[in-house]
């Protein structure tokens, strides 16, 4: 069942989105050779709580971290640990924040120091595929329009999209209907309607699309060991078009409740 949100609910999610954005901006400045993902996790948690938010991921089905930190061939769901980042790595950071009962969710993949040309291209293509998916978030389109736009752009650039994990509706729960796959034909899936809020999150592999789970039953890796990138935004469907709740201008986006 798809739960559409009122304008007041979307404003609450936008306020959570501001904290998600602030946390990712903080991470952008802290991701560097020598730092551990556990240290990043501590910084993120302190930041989120200082803003009055709760790190949504912490305790979710027993997940121990406040962020997911997924380096290199890890696709998503990395538990922050003593892994020390080194020059040339890439690091996916996924952040969820609950404020006043409502959730926003976003992710970025950061370069660590100087990265290879192909890694740089993987990051660029993945982020652009997300933006192309978001551009399809128009009332009357279907979820498949988003999926198709992402897949088309990624595969046109010689990379592959992960198929076994998908984006999702978001609201009071982190994972609501509908599922938002990053692949498939444009005419499929539920129709996009005003008040729907979805997290779109392309996971893009340098090599094949196949993935496998790590020994900790959380981390997902590319099967062929190639690099993987992940970008995500929480997006509200409005009659004026897509409204990114976790974007860089999210602070200005929050409207005062009337």
Shortest separation between residue 133's beta carbon and Mg ion, angstroms: 13
Q: Which is nearer to Mg ion, 76 or 227 (CB)?
A: 76
Shortest separation between residue 116's beta carbon and Mg ion, angstroms: 27
Q: Which is nearer to Mg ion, 115 or 203 (CB)?
A: 203
Q: Which is nearer to Mg ion, 137 or 199 (CB)?
A: 199
Q: Which is nearer to Mg ion, 41 or 105 (CB)?
A: 105
Q: Site residues (CB under 5 A) for Mg ion?
A: 105, 199, 201
Shortest separation between residue 105's beta carbon and Mg ion, angstroms: 4
Shortest separation between residue 17's beta carbon and Mg ion, angstroms: 13
Shortest separation between residue 59's beta carbon and Mg ion, angstroms: 16
Distances (CA, A) of 1 to 59, 68, 178: 25, 27, 8
Q: Please tell me the distance from the alpha carbon of residue 40 to that of residue 50, in angstroms, as a whole number.
A: 15
List beta partners, residue 92.
70, 109
Q: Which is nearer to Mg ion, 11 or 105 (CB)?
A: 105
Q: Please tell me the distance from the alpha carbon of residue 24 to that of residue 110, in angstroms, as a whole number.
A: 10
């Amino acid at each position: 069942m798809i739960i559409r949100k009122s304008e007041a609910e979307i404003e609450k999610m936008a306020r959570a989105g501001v904290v998600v954005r602030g946390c990712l901006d903080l991470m952008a400045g802290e991701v560097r050779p020598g730092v551990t993902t556990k240290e990043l996790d501590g910084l993120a948690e302190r930041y989120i709580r200082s803003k009055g938010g709760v790190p949504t991921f912490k305790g979710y089905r027993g997940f121990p971290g406040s962020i997911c930190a997924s380096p290199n061939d890890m696709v998503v769901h990395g538990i922050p640990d003593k892994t020390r980042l080194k020059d040339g790595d890439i690091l996916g950071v996924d952040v969820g924040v609950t404020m006043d009962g409502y959730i926003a969710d976003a992710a970025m993949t950061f370069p660590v120091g100087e990265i290879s040309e192909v890694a740089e291209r993987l990051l660029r293509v993945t982020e652009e595929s997300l933006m192309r998916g978001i551009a399809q978030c128009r009332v009357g389109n279907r979820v498949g329009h988003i999926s198709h736009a992402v897949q088309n752009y990624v595969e046109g650039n010689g990379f592959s999209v992960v198929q076994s994990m998908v984006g999702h509706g978001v609201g009071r729960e982190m994972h609501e209907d509908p599922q938002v796959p990053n692949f498939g034909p444009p005419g499929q899936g539920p129709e996009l309607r005003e008040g729907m809020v979805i997290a779109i999150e392309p996971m893009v592999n340098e090599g094949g699309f196949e993935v496998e789970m790590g020994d900790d039953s959380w981390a997902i890796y590319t099967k062929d060991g190639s690099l993987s990138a992940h970008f995500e935004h929480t997006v509200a469907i409005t009659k004026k078009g897509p409204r990114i709740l976790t974007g860089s201008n999210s602070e200005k986006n929050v409207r005062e409740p009337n």
